[in-house]
Structure formats: C-alpha cells, structure tokens
Structure 1
Amino acid sequence: MSTDRRTLLADAAIAVLAESGIRGLTHRAVDRAANLPPGTTSAYYRTRQALLTALVRRLVALDQTELQEIGEQTPMPQHAEELVAGIAGFVERRLTGDGRRRSLARYACALESVRHPELREILVARENAGRQVVRDFLAAQGLPDPEDRTVTLLTCVDGLVFDRLVSGGGKVSEQEIRGLVMTALR
C-alpha cells in the first residue's frame, strides 16, 4: 500500500507541476490533487526536495515505459516517410492529454535541475527501444555516426515540442518533422 500511495502522490505532483508550475508545487497542493487528507504528502515526502525527486523519478519511469512500448510496437521503418509518421505520432502524444502534462512537468524539472544536480542525474537521457528504432533506421541507411545523428534528431524533435508548449503554437506539422529527418539523412 505504501508504494501505491507514493505512486499516487508522485502522479498528483506531476499534475500539480504541469498545472501550477514549480511555485505551485506544494505538499498541500499535492494532497488536494490526490484527494487525500492534509499532511499525507508530507508524511511520505518530508521535504519539498524529496517530493520533487519522487516526481522526477516517476516522470522518468512513465516516459521510459512509453518509449519502450513505442519501440517494441513499432517495426523498423523501411522508408523516411515511415520514420516521419512515427515521430509525428510521438510528438502528437507529447502535446496532448497526459503527454502534454508530462511534457510541461518534464521541462519544469529540467530547469530546476540546473540548481539541483541530483535531479539532472535522474533526468539524463536513457537508452530505450524508441531511440533504438531511430538509431537502427539511420544505421540501415549507411550513414556515418548514427548515434550522433539520433541524438541530434531527437534533440531537435524535443525542441519542437518545447516550442509548441511555450508558444501555444499547437501542432507540429509532418513537414517540420520531415525536414528534421531529411537533415539527419544527409
């Protein structure tokens, strides 16, 4: 039960952070979001830093699970257009619904990690099946440095997501993603 409560609190903290920003992330706000009695969050996470660390760990676990599932369910793209379509679907998930909330929380945590290196260690990019699909596709094209190209491509995709969240610009077009993929293929 303790683990379930901790997960519930971390999920509520992600929602609070996405809705209210870093200043709105308080123990009381998480209690309210989780529909739990006042003081529950502080009983599990005594300090704000402990709460933030739990939030970041949960966020990374959710992201890794999603990326692993994408990679396992996505066959190796045979053509650039298939990679474009796959990345477009991923970006759409990051800009809507629960994916949007997690994206907002992730970027807030990334900024907070500048002052708290222990968070940066948790947030560091990890290997996953989704990343592997992109790397394998680029390698199959006979390109030099598929690892570096994968990192560059995915960093640019992340930048598009960030831009749309910050600017309120809505969707990322397939044309924009196609441009990134084609640049990676040069």
Structure 2
Amino acid sequence: MTRDRRTVLADAALSVLADGGMRALTHRAVDAAAGLPTGTTSAYLRTRKALLSALAVRLVELDQTELREAAESTPLRPQADPDELAEALARFSEARLTGEGRRRTLARYACAVESVYHPELREVLAPRENAARDAVRAVLAAHGVADPDGRTVTLLACVDGLVFERLTGPAADAGGLCDEIRALVRAALRP
C-alpha cells in the first residue's frame, strides 16, 4: 500500500525541518526531500501556512502512534511503584533523544516555537489524551494524589523540559535522565 501524496510531503517536510530548522523549510526543499518534481509541494500545499499545518498534523499523528505503542509495549499497572513509573518515562524520553525520535523531537519543538507566530498550530500541537498519559494518571491516582489530572500535566511538562534541556543543552545526551525523572515522580507523588 502506498502512502498518499500529502503524507509523503508532510514526512519530507518533517525531515527538512528536523535536519535544517525552520529557515530550511521551503516548498522546494520538501520537493527535493520527497524526490518529487519541483512544484509538487506547492500544488498540494499552496502556502507556507498549509505546509506547516500538514507537517504539524503528521507530527501529532506519529506522536500519538508512538505513545499508544509505548503504553501497549510497557503497560504500567496503576499500582506501579514510583521507580517503575520513572523508568518507563525515562525509556520513553531517551527514545526521543536518539534516532528518528530525536528528529521528530527537534521538529516538534520548532513547530511549538512557530506556533507563537501562527496560533492555528497551537490547537494542532496541543497535548492530547492517550494511553500513555492515562497510565501515568492512573499511577498517580492509585498513590492517592489529590489532583491526578493536574499532577499528570505538570509531571509530563517537567519531563518534556528535561528532554528539551538534553536536546539543546551543552551535554546533549540522556545521562542521568532516569535519576532526574525519578525525582520528578517523587515530587508528583507528594501530598
């Protein structure tokens, strides 16, 4: 089965953005990355806004798939201890720092910054409910956290901040990530 042309273009746009940043993201660069004739991207996605929207929609689709698969491959029991939760979050975070996960993370952060100037991207990029988020919320609730929804959002935002720091900071690696996430999990579990 072949992917539709818009998906091919969105995947190529994601690659261009991850490899070269927002300035590199042009219709012509996407054509080249997709191996398609010049003008193809413009024919399907006429404006830069349309190109960014298609890229963001595809990015969210890939992220949601990854989150669902992570929840299925490493299911967390609601009674999981804090170390189990920290290890699961660390594994997921480390995957966002290497290989294809790293490339998507770079594209995600570039899109997040761009959403400041293109508010229509904010809705596309807004965090969504998914099985992985539900699992974290269930663990926090099972441990008696008073506001598991709010604590889940805060915990995951803090973990995302660690990923951002690892990706952009001077020590761009995952070293010590599990220990830092373990501290965040313990803080989330405090009454």
Give TM class, smaller chain.
over 0.9
Q: What per-residue deviation string (whole Å, max 9, x for no partner) do you get for residues 70-129 of structure 1?
A: 123332242111111101110011101111111100011011101111100111110000
Q: What per-residue deviation string (whole Å, max 9, x for no partner) do you get for residues 125-173 of structure 1?
A: 1000000010000000011101111011000000011111111421152
Q: Is the 8 A contact 1:91 1:172 kept in 2?
A: no
Give me the identity figure in percent.
Answer: 64
Residue 132 of structure 1 aligns with an amino acid whose one-letter code is: D
Query: Which whole-Å CA distance do the structure 1 matches of 2:166 and 2:17 have between them?
Result: 18
Equivalenced residues, count:
186
Out of 117, 121, 132, the position equivalent to 1:115 is: 117
Query: Which whole-Å CA distance do the structure 2 matches of 1:161 and 1:3 have between them?
Result: 31
1:177 corresponds to: 181
Q: Describe the SS at the equivalent of 1:95.
A: coil
Out of 166, 173, 176, the position equivalent to 2:168 is: 166
Query: Which whole-Å CA distance do the structure 2 matches of 1:104 and 1:42 have between them?
Result: 24
Q: Describe the SS at the equivalent of 2:4.
A: helix
Query: Which whole-Å CA distance do the structure 2 matches of 1:108 and 1:81 have between them?
Result: 32
Q: 1:65 to 1:168 in 2, by over 3 A?
A: farther
The within-5 A match list for 1:27-42 is 27-42=27-42
Q: Is the 8 A contact 1:71 1:132 kept in 2?
A: no
Query: Which whole-Å CA distance do the structure 2 matches of 1:72 and 1:140 have between them?
Result: 19
The yes-or-no answer on 1:73 pairing with 2:73 is: yes
Stretches of structure 2 that go unaligned for 5 or more consecutive residues are: none
Give 4+ residue runs of structure 1 displaced > 3 Å after superposition: none
Out of 141, 144, 156, the position equivalent to 2:143 is: 141
Q: 1:56 to 1:75 in 2, by over 3 A?
A: same
Query: Which whole-Å CA distance do the structure 2 matches of 1:122 and 1:13 have between them?
Result: 16
Stretches of structure 1 that go unaligned for 5 or more consecutive residues are: none
Residue 108 of structure 2 aligns with an amino acid whose one-letter code is: R
The yes-or-no answer on 1:88 pairing with 2:113 is: no
CA RMSD of aligned residues (A): 1.5
Residue 134 of structure 1 aligns with an amino acid whose one-letter code is: V
Query: Which whole-Å CA distance do the structure 2 matches of 1:76 and 1:87 have between them?
Result: 10
Query: Which whole-Å CA distance do the structure 2 matches of 1:12 and 1:75 have between them?
Result: 32
TM-score (norm 1): 0.95
Residue 39 of structure 1 aligns with an amino acid whose one-letter code is: G
TM-score (norm 2): 0.93
1:56 corresponds to: 56
Answer 1 or 2: which has greater helix percent: 1
Query: Which whole-Å CA distance do the structure 1 matches of 2:160 and 2:170 have between them?
Result: 15
Residue 71 of structure 2 aligns with an amino acid whose one-letter code is: G
1:25 corresponds to: 25
Query: Which whole-Å CA distance do the structure 2 matches of 1:100 and 1:26 have between them?
Result: 21
